[in-house]
Structure 1
Amino acid sequence: MTTTTDRAANDRPANDAPVIRRLLTTPGRWAVVGLSTNTARAAWGVAAYLKDSLGHEIVPVHPHGETVHGAAGVTRLADIDGPVDVVDVFVNARLAGAVVDEAIAIGARAVWLQLGVVDDAAADRARAAGLDVVMDACPAIEGPLLGLG
């Protein structure tokens, strides 16, 4: 099976397999932007995988600030108390750049843009700010491909 580390669209760099493995296996705090109580949304299942299968702490980030999977939600990244390791971006690609800029502003260590969420300029800004970047990939797909969870 082909992972997102094996391919890149246009001139975009391929995702770095060691970065993906490190982000998924190192215990961390993941802010999941776009996570709500809507069980039909991909964010709901991916957050459950991150929390229950991989042992990460999740922080739901959604305009309604809902509690999801037992984790209290916030309405924006700036409302999170304490450090954030990964900002997992489940928003439309047109909105992703603003979320990446917020991730940089709060001192997140990485941004993970989900399948179909591609913003090369935002990814470049994140890399320039020293963040790890994974784009157009899903932890709930990449993890099992790596034998995780």
Structure 2
Amino acid sequence: MTHTPADQHSTPAPAELREQIEHTRHELGDTVQALADKTDVKARARQKAGQLKDDAVARAGELKVQATKATSRVQDKLPDSFKQKAAQAAGQARATATQAGRKWEEKAPAPLQQKTAQSAQLAREHRTLLLTVAAGIAVLWLASRIKKD
């Protein structure tokens, strides 16, 4: 900053000086706050993570709606005979799974049953992660199949 010699005509009044000082303090405070906000990495990361989470939730909702609509369209196009056969197959699969479960309980050793139960519990607790990984693998497999053709 350069200072010019003060004329008697250009000397500001004390009230004007106080106003300029207050204005400068306010600007300096805003600048310091802006710098502090930029250096607060944790807060910026939390804010970005929140935005990403909100975006992901919104996108997941959109995808769910699209999947529901697509499923409805496909089901509407299926003949009734196919739907009946699918329902029968699902019933048979449930019955077979129930039988296999009973045999497992009768014949498997207790320590093995405990380990299996723990694994099943972990799978239920991390269902979303498992489904995401499975979907990713399916996409990669499909992409590799498409590239080969």
TM-score by length of 1: 0.18
Greater share of helix: 2
Greater share of strand: 1
TM-score by length of 2: 0.18
